[in-house]
Amino acid sequence: MRSPLLVAPPVMAAPLIDPFGRAISYLRVSVTDRCDFRCRYCMSESMTFLPRDQVLSFEEIDRLASAFIRRGLRKLRLTGGEPLVRRGIIDLVQSLGRHVRSGALEELTLTTNGSQLARFAGDLAAAGVRRINVSLDTLDAEKFAHITRWGRLEQVLGGIAAAREAGLHVKLNMVALAGLNEDEIVPMLAFAAAHGHDLTLIETMPMGEIDEDRTDRYLPLSRVRAGLAQRFTLTDLPERTGGPARYLRIEETGQKLGLITPLTHNFCESCNRVRLTATGRLFMCLGQDDQADLRSVIRGSSDDAALDAALVEAIGRKPRGHDFEIARAAPAVARHMSVTGG
């Protein structure tokens, strides 16, 4: 394995504040748009991915992330596509981990489909990652293969077990899909409780063209919650982790359940996050097309003053919120979730 990237620690500067007074403390970085699955609600089976020469190098990702950390970033999440399919990814994680060790960064984490976790869980833990999110929409092997097209449930469950053995806390993300996995939400809660995992349910998001009509699979979580309330005692929790989820406790099991509801309950009022694509485009809102080209800034100048100015200008354009609407004939935004970073 190559040595971690050697970059000087950031000198702290004024925080980035958007026009609505929200401090930007959470950055999601897509390290690749490529994925070894083709989940039906996320992308088409025949995807065209970015040419590799358009993708940011690890040094460029490190420089951009460090610039945000210098301006008050506290949480950094690596995403994709599937981040663990990018060659040498542990080198980047090791380098970014220095910010956790110094105390400049509160958390370095990752969202994965779990396919490569058996290989990398130990390395992630050693690099400073303490918590990961794993996408898991079903515990039925046949249904899992149908939803992911290319995935194998056994491989993902093995990866989750390896992560737990390495000391990583695992949160499961389950996209709620009408007529497909809505009858598995209670079994997934039981699985999560048995293995010490938190669970978050997510409404499907209208992003990018896929091979089917999303409205056929849209399952409002308000309906899911009403169903759960008939079986369990649910208590709303004030806890916020910096992400879009709202949390409740299931009193009978004591476990925490998150709900991400971009359609039935807009979560934008406290949004403190922005997303950086693998090509260096900064999206200030997941559900809007406005973006800032940070790749051209860092490739055009080694002066961090120019980069700082670009960050301030971009955050100054962050909107109040998105306008997702599942009933539209076309997606709310044309790009796929794998492009922006899941």
| Residue 213: Cβ-neighbour burial (10 angstroms; 0-12, 13-18, 19+) | exposed
**Mean pLDDT of all residues belonging to the chain:** 88
Domain range 26-340, its CATH number among 3.20.20.70, 1.10.490.10, 3.40.50.720, 3.40.50.300:
3.20.20.70
Question: Does 196 show up as a binding residue in the annotation?
Answer: no
Per-residue pLDDT band for 42 (boundaries 50, 70, 90) equals: confident
Residue 267 clears pLDDT 70, i.e. is over it: no
Cα gap 112→301, rounded to integer Å: 33
Asked if residue 81 belongs to a known ligand binding site, the reply is yes
Q: Nearest 5°: CA angle at 339, between 90 and 240?
A: 75
- 175 assigned to a ligand binding site: no
**Residue 275 labeled ligand binder:** yes
268 annotated as belonging to a binding site for a ligand = yes
Q: What would the two tokens of residue 289 be?
A: 């097309």
Reported in sequence order, the residue ranges of the chain that DSSP labels E, i.e. its strands, are 26-30, 75-79, 107-112, 131-135, 169-176, 198-203, 234-237, 246-250, 255-260, 273-276, 281-283, 291-293
Does the annotation place 86 within a ligand binding site? no
Spacing of C-alpha 330 from chain mean position: 23
- Categorize the per-residue pLDDT at 50 as very low, low, confident or very high, splitting at 50, 70 and 90: confident
* Radius of gyration from C-alpha coordinates of the chain: 19
Q: 1 labelled as ligand-binding?
A: no
Does this model's pTM top 0.85? yes
Is 93 marked as a binding-site residue? no
Task: Report the relative pairing of strands 75-79 and 255-260 from DSSP bridges.
Answer: unpaired
Q: How far does the chain reach from its first CA to its final CA, in angstroms?
A: 27
7 is in an annotated binding site: no
Is 22 annotated in some ligand binding site?
Answer: no
Q: Has 188 been labeled as part of a binding site?
A: no
Q: 299 labelled as ligand-binding?
A: no
Nearest Cα to Cα of residue 174 among 187, 161, 159: 187
- Whether pLDDT at 24 is above 70: yes
Q: Is 39 annotated as a binding residue?
A: yes
